[in-house]
Structure 1
């Protein structure tokens, strides 16, 4: 049984590793989807992460991931699964949105779409995929709590939000007895990466920096880490993905290889274990559609690191 991680402020407990499904259902049969989700489930996984926007960039179109998960859940009983989806993404070429992608009407419409695609009556954990700085956190939290009261969603979380906005949103919720964000999803891995480049209004992602990590240490808010394997940076055949090829990352990879040899596991498993062995709850999301890679990544749940090993891996450039 894979360890469970509680999400404080909710009744949810999720598997220590989550399954990210951006490409699920794209160019694959329902049998392929069942094999992947079945392998995740058999390893003790319970936390499935998707989004309203996923696969809009393919011929399958937006919603393909949610629909594939919905078909699987309709055909397979999975009592302890926690389904998280994301809505409120700004418009992109091929994904039309209004200028106010987090207004109450847009949030409600995205939730209704996702409920239908997933074939569920309530979404366990609902993320806002991006922030909209033109709206106050008060307006956003109020709208999400209306959905909670209506029973369409269970708990709420933020994806690609800044520390300042996360703190302000949860302070507002606490002061008014409302539900705040119970998790934050940003990009983080053992590899070192510079902050995300500024994007057009709304489509801003967040790559974890020291201020983000310090916020999670201080607050205890769970961090769900996407791109948790640094897009294959720790694999034996790594092509050094863009953004990760620097002195700190290369040194961390060498140290991961060293510890992997000592522990009888792979460097990728060490990189994932590093995330799971932080001083605050951190849940890496693995997004592969390869059964072999999925099983390797899930094997990281059995790898433990001492505090000194964790600190040894986190090499910093001078």
Structure 2
């Protein structure tokens, strides 16, 4: 396993985060996956207040295994569709969601806390002031944004710097080799070229959700296979099929799979990155670990991503 550091978190953080989207019950398949992830050297879990029941299950497992102090928890709050309707990016919603997340997880702090959505009509000042109160109280060790534009993150960090506060230490948008034609879910943000260049300049770590583009590179999809409306809507484009072709070509040259190439693409950007993964079995986990260790050159990364310029 490879690791990165994020300012504010004393623990090293594995570059593969274990997503908890399928963690509904502590049944055998889930226990096996969690144990396999820990055995592989993984120590970072992604969850959210809005993921119904997932925080409780993760908290139960951590209490049962006595692993809390050895792992990194990233949870998220202030999602628009979580509780009261409408935008919820405000101090009251942040406070409520964080308090409930800590109770559900059975912990006194979370290592990483991200705002799950943005509301650009809300000034960044009150948001940063609220988050810093929780940093001071040690309920959060590092703050970040999920699905915020890099311009808003920059604005928030400039406010923090001007007022003696701690700014966002990480960003968690989507980043994948397949580029979405439109947001996969309402209000989500994918890192485009400008965002990536901003990360190069700032060095701010990027923690990518849907790093494998919903399995676009798995071999289960093709232009004439229209059985998954979401995949067709989001990822079916000429440029993405060219990226797929290039991933297959490079995979054949290296003796690996196209989906491993796609994950390696995310992990070998010219700035710090992690990938949130959701393996369904130990074999898929091992595939992701192998992809993490499959180093791509800057030239290979650029070649994979220049389908629209060919």
Q: TM-score of the superposition, structure 2-length normalised?
A: 0.90
2-side partners of 1:251 and 1:103: how far apart?
42
1-side partners of 2:118 and 2:21: how far apart?
19
Q: TM-score of the superposition, structure 1-length normalised?
A: 0.88
Trace 1:165-244 onto structure 2 (pairs within 5 A): 165-196=152-183, 204-238=187-221, 241-242=231-232, 243-244=234-235
Deviation string 1:114-138 (CA, Å, 9 cap, x unpaired) is 1111111111111100112232111
1-side partners of 2:45 and 2:9: how far apart?
17
Contact 1:160 1:206 in 2 (8 A): yes
Instruction: Establish whether residue 270 from structure 1 lines up as the match of residue 269 from structure 2.
Output: no
Instruction: Establish whether residue 18 from structure 1 lines up as the match of residue 17 from structure 2.
Output: yes
Alpha-carbon shift at residue 302 of structure 1 (Å): 1.4
Contact 2:79 2:87 in 1 (8 A): no
Identify which of 32, 35, 39 aligns with 1:42: 39
Structure 2 runs not aligned, ≥5 long: 224-230
Structure whose residues are more often helix by fraction? 2
Contact 1:251 1:315 in 2 (8 A): no
How much is the aligned-residue C-alpha RMSD, in angstroms?
1.9
- The match for 1:82 is 72
Deviation string 1:270-302 (CA, Å, 9 cap, x unpaired) is 111111111101111112434432332232111
Alpha-carbon shift at residue 156 of structure 1 (Å): 0.5
Structure 1 runs not aligned, ≥5 long: 55-61
Contact 1:185 1:224 in 2 (8 A): yes
Trace 1:110-125 onto structure 2 (pairs within 5 A): 110-125=97-112
- The match for 1:306 is 297
- The match for 1:107 is 94
Alpha-carbon shift at residue 184 of structure 1 (Å): 0.7
Alpha-carbon shift at residue 264 of structure 1 (Å): 2.3
Counterpart secondary structure, 1:187:
coil
2-side partners of 1:72 and 1:98: how far apart?
31
Counterpart secondary structure, 2:164:
coil
Contact 2:265 2:301 in 1 (8 A): yes
Alpha-carbon shift at residue 99 of structure 1 (Å): 4.7
Which range moved further: 183-192 or 12-21? 12-21
Identify which of 123, 130, 149 aligns with 1:136: 123
Contact 1:223 1:281 in 2 (8 A): yes
Which range moved further: 287-296 or 175-184? 287-296
Alpha-carbon shift at residue 96 of structure 1 (Å): 2.4
Size of the alignment, in residue pairs?
300
Contact 1:39 1:295 in 2 (8 A): no
Identify which of 253, 266, 270 aligns with 1:279: 270
- The match for 2:134 is 147
Contact 1:33 1:72 in 2 (8 A): no
Alpha-carbon shift at residue 108 of structure 1 (Å): 1.4
Counterpart secondary structure, 1:86:
strand
- The match for 2:226 is none
